[in-house]
Amino acid sequence: MMNPFDLTGRTAIVTGANTGLGQSIAVALAGAGAAIVAVGRSAMDETESLCRASGSEFRSVQADLSSLDPIEGIVAEAAAVSGRVDILVNNAGIIRRADAIDFTEKDWDDVMNVNLKSTFFLSRAVARNMLADGGGGKIINIASLLSFQGGVRIPSYTASKSGLAGLTRLLACEWAAKGINVNAIAPGYFATNNTEALRNDPKRSGEILSRIPAGRWGEPSDLGGAAVFLASPAASYIHGVVLPVDGGWLAR
C-alpha cells in the first residue's frame, strides 16, 4: 500500500534551516524521503549531516532574506536538484522586543521584511515554478501563537505573524484549484534561539510554562510530524489552515 506521508522524489526548500525549528523540519522532511535545499545566512553543516544520515540529497544556498535579491537564485538552485520545486517551508524569521511606545522603525521594517515580505515573494517565485508544469506543490508557512493572540513587547512580530496567517488563507484561495496547498503551522513555545530571552526570564518563563497544558516547552523535534503531514499527499485536500503545535496552549 502507498504510504501517504512518503516524500521520496520531492524537493523541499526550507528557509532558516541551520538551527532551531527550521533544522528540525528539514531533518523530518529528509527522513520522509525529500531532497533538501536548505536556505539561510549561516553554515548548514550540522543540518547537512543530519539530513544526509537518512540518505537524503542535500544542497545549501547562502542567502539573506532581509531583501528580495536572492529569491530568484534560490528557486533556480532548488529547481536544479530534480527539475522542479515540490515543497516550500517559509521558516526563516526574526523577533525584536521593546515596548510599543518605544518601538523603532528599524525594528518594524527588519521584522516585516524577513517574516512577511520575503515570505510572500519567495512563495510567489516558487509557485510560478510549481505551476509551470501544472504539477502543483505544498507551501508551509511557519506562523506563531501571535497569529492568533496579541502578546506584549513584540509589535512587528505580532503584525508579521498575524499577517502571515492572512496571507496563508489568501494564497490558499488563489492557488488551491491549481494544485498548490498553502497552509501554516503555528508553533507554541519552543526551546530555540528565538525564545532564549523568554526562557532566561524566570518570571515570564514560569508564567508561560504554567499555561501550557502539556507541562513543558516544545522541543524542535515536536514540529517535524506536522511539517511532513502538510507536505505530503495525505494533506492534499487541506488548504488555508493554521495548525497549532502548541502543547495545548490555545485550547486553554
Residues in contact with ligand NAD by the rule CB under 6 A: 15-16, 18-22, 40-42, 64-66, 91-94, 114, 142, 144, 187, 189-190, 192-195
* Nearer to ligand NAD (CB atom), residue 160 or residue 232: 160
Cβ proximity to ligand NAD, 4 vs 72, nearer residue: 72
- In angstroms, what is the minimal distance from the CB of 24 to ligand NAD? 8
CB of 95 to ligand NAD, least distance (A): 6
User: Is position 157 annotated as part of the catalytic site?
Assistant: yes
Active-site residue, from 44, 143, 157, 189: 157
Between 2 and 252, whose beta carbon lies closer to ligand NAD?
252
Cβ proximity of 45 and 39 under 8 Å: no
- Closer residue to ligand NAD, CB minimum distance, 134 or 215: 215
Residues belonging to the active site: 157
